[in-house]
Structure 1
Amino acid sequence: MDLDFDPATITLATFNTLLGAFETTVRQIARTKALLKSKSKLKSASNVKKMMKQTGKRAALSAKDAEEAQYEHAEDLDLVDAQVRDFLELDEWRYKALPDVVEKRRGGKDEGEGEGYLSKDELIRLTEWKLKHGVYRPTLLGMVRQNQDKTVSRATASAFSSLSSLAGSIETVETALSTLTTPLRGVGPATASLILSTASKDVPFYSDDVFLWLCVGVYPFHSSSTKTSKEVKPNGELNAKYNVAEYRRLWEGVQGLRERLNEGVEKGKEVSCSDVERVALVVRRFGQSGLGILQDDEAGEQDDEKEDPKESGGSGDGRRKRRRI
């Protein structure tokens, strides 16, 4: 299957292939993060063993030291596995459990006037999810924790209520964003969009992955250089202001992609905003997706040789070659 990651031409089949690799990708990301956190402990255990081997002075180490050196690595790997499970459980909560909770609150007599709401604890956990998937900012989490319970429930209830008249209007969503960012500490447009996405499948979350893919044009096998873009840092991370103007760009990109992919799709099986969000993560972390990349076959190589250099991206015009899986 040809993998074309260009948002303007990606097929529904390719999109679904990438979506199917989401859990594998997240699992690998979580494991990599957990291993990095335990790196110092692993290094410590390695140093003990190295010292024992190089000096030969086993007697200088107590029996307890030797035992710890022997089992520390295995204990760290157990901890890594536990952290991966926690990461995946948090993902399941964000994409499935929390939206279900919000939906169940709709139409009831609970606080939130029948439109659903988030509690302070849910907002904190949602922020923790966001930080685990992006750049960790402990000060942001601290500010979110300063919000009062009633302030969180009232603000989210009001914002969710305004989404009932969404009808594809970015203006309505921007109003809902303001309803959240004004009273809530630590909640900017990006976090506010995440909150709104728990109440509506038609509201995209402003994630770095989505913005890089749909707005900046960063994706695998794309020959044009993005290093000169002011929106991409030298390390490949997004350099953005996370403001409403940027969110409008992201909104238009997501809705345009969904409109094209959902043309003729059976009702109930349409591509949602969370689908786009998850595929964008796989696109950005494609090397961790588990999707094997095969070398172009002989016929494909011959076709490439026949291409005009300008058409194959040789002149740096941004054209990309497709890869097969």
Structure 2
Amino acid sequence: MSSLFVCEEPKTWRKVYDKYWNVVEAKAQGKKTGNLLKLDKWFQEELPAQISSRAEKYITLSELVKLMQWKLTRGKFRPRLQQLVASNSEDTVEKCSRKAFSLLPDVQAAIAELSSLKGVGPATASAVLAAGAPEQTAFMSDEAMESVPGLQPIQYTAKNYALYLSKIVERSKKLNKVDPQQDWTPQRLELCLWAMTIATKQQLGLFEELKVKNKKTQEETSDSDGEHKAKKLKSV
């Protein structure tokens, strides 16, 4: 579990967010993820703009296929899912996604609607919603799920997604209360948790200063607790 999720300091989160693309570039250097940088730029920047430009939000079949390619490149590769998603009809994808976005802010109903598509489960459905409504939803990535307490072992169910999202939304609200910029969304938190987890697993060394700071904070807390206990013993 990442210590970032329990951090209440916006500056720490922002330092991680500012290095997001550095982490993506580092991961993209791997043989199987060479296309990640291009796909991630598309998902994080181009797709949201395309969805928002429509009178009613929806995604096309080609966008859903490319979104699945992005998801499998960014996380675990499961080629069978790519084939299943591609087998949906253009009309079905547009109608289903249009209805899903119209159901918001009832995220669970939107997830259920999108999950009726072939090859789409809660995780892929969450990616669709995160691209079109990042202020209400967040992608259900393994890395972000691993970072949130109480969600292990990871289960790709609507129930587990609801729990994950509630924790992410709560943390984003708390950060916005103490951050003057107030620009934290559930999806932005997912980016941070993903980046921190990947950087830690691949030992990229991008957040060494944060580790030192966290260690110092823990030591100060420990010393404070020790003093408190000593005073308590004296008063007994």
Mark yes or no: TM-score above 0.5. yes
Aligned to 1:97: 46
Report the AA paired with residue 261 of structure 1.
L
Aligned to 2:197: 284
* Matched residue SS, 2:95: helix
Partners of 1:255 and 1:152 lie apart in 2 by: 27
Is 2:104 aligned against 1:188?
A: no
Residues 175 and 30 of structure 1: is their aligned pair in 2 closer, same or farther, counting only changes over 3 Å? same
Alignment of 1:175-214 (within 5 A): 175-182=109-116, 184-201=117-134, 202-214=136-148
* CA displacement, residues 121-180 of structure 1 (integer Å, 9 cap, x when unaligned): 1000000000011110011111101101100011001111122xx2xxxxx110111111
Residues 27 and 121 of structure 1: is their aligned pair in 2 closer, same or farther, counting only changes over 3 Å? same
Report the AA paired with residue 91 of structure 1.
D
Aligned to 2:167: 253
Residues 194 and 296 of structure 1: is their aligned pair in 2 closer, same or farther, counting only changes over 3 Å? closer
Q: Is the 8 A contact 1:21 1:289 kept in 2?
A: no
* Matched residue SS, 1:263: helix
Residues 127 and 295 of structure 1: is their aligned pair in 2 closer, same or farther, counting only changes over 3 Å? closer
1:146 maps to which of 83, 87, 103: 87
* Matched residue SS, 2:85: helix
- Residue 193 of structure 1 and its aligned partner are, at CA, apart by 0.9
Partners of 1:265 and 1:308 lie apart in 2 by: 26
Partners of 1:272 and 1:178 lie apart in 2 by: 22
Aligned to 2:7: 9
User: Could you tell me the percent identity over the aligned residues?
Assistant: 25
* CA displacement, residues 35-62 of structure 1 (integer Å, 9 cap, x when unaligned): xx5xxxxxxxxxxxxxxxxxxxxxxxxx
Residues 10 and 177 of structure 1: is their aligned pair in 2 closer, same or farther, counting only changes over 3 Å? same
2:72 maps to which of 124, 131, 135: 131
Alignment of 1:207-226 (within 5 A): 207-216=141-150
Residues 101 and 5 of structure 1: is their aligned pair in 2 closer, same or farther, counting only changes over 3 Å? same
TM-score (norm 2): 0.82
* CA displacement, residues 236-267 of structure 1 (integer Å, 9 cap, x when unaligned): xxx43300110111011101110110005446
Residues 241 and 21 of structure 1: is their aligned pair in 2 closer, same or farther, counting only changes over 3 Å? same
Partners of 1:130 and 1:24 lie apart in 2 by: 18
Partners of 2:17 and 2:210 lie apart in 1 by: 20
Partners of 2:178 and 2:97 lie apart in 1 by: 34
- Residue 89 of structure 1 and its aligned partner are, at CA, apart by 1.6
- Residue 117 of structure 1 and its aligned partner are, at CA, apart by 1.1
Aligned to 1:18: 16
Partners of 2:211 and 2:169 lie apart in 1 by: 34
Aligned length: 218
Partners of 1:7 and 1:260 lie apart in 2 by: 12
Q: Is the 8 A contact 2:168 2:189 kept in 1?
A: yes
Report the AA paired with residue 290 of structure 1.
L
* CA displacement, residues 216-244 of structure 1 (integer Å, 9 cap, x when unaligned): 48xxxxxxxxxxxxx3xxxxxxx433001
Give 5+ residue unaligned stretches, structure 2: 228-236
* Greater helix share, structure number: 2
Residues 90 and 310 of structure 1: is their aligned pair in 2 closer, same or farther, counting only changes over 3 Å? farther
RMSD: 2.8
Report the AA paired with residue 101 of structure 2.
F
